[in-house]
Amino acid sequence: MSGNTKLVAEQMAAELNADLIPLIPKKAYPDSGFKKFFWGGKSAVMGDKPKLEPYAFDVYSYDLVILGSPVWAGTFAPPLRTFLHQHRDDLRGKRVATFFCCSGGPGKVLEKLRSYLNGVQLEEEIILIDPKDKPSQENEEKIKGFIDALK
């Protein structure tokens, strides 16, 4: 909603010459004020799997899949949960990496993702604090190291 995850995804896609597949819920979450945090947080905590707008993803076309998500209430965003529910088993044996963007603390987002992946191994993982809103050398170095490790 704030554009942090999109910014990093676009940067990684450009550096890795990769496809970018946005996961857009059919019913948009409120994007401002109290409702943004209440509905987004509730949906994340309750493990909702919202219906997504159609997207093209053929797991067999990719050697590497990078999962990106904002952190909502200490976990990954519900659209990613929907995607993983649909494709988790297909990701076994693939190179999989992940990045998260957050404004506050990341909570247990990596632990929760690993648990939800149920045995799918993560090759690389990073957590970035406000990469769009508060650019920093630390975030840039993390992104560069992540990309270099995946090349």
Burial 85-108 (b: 16+ CB within 10 A, else e): eeeeeebeebebbbbbbbeeebbe
pLDDT tens per residue across span 4-27: 999 999 999 999 999 999 999 897
pTM of the prediction? 0.90
Taking residues 78-98, report their average pLDDT: 95
The domains located in the chain, with CATH, are 4-25+39-150 (3.40.50.360)
Taking 70 as the threshold, does the pLDDT of residue 71 lie above it? yes
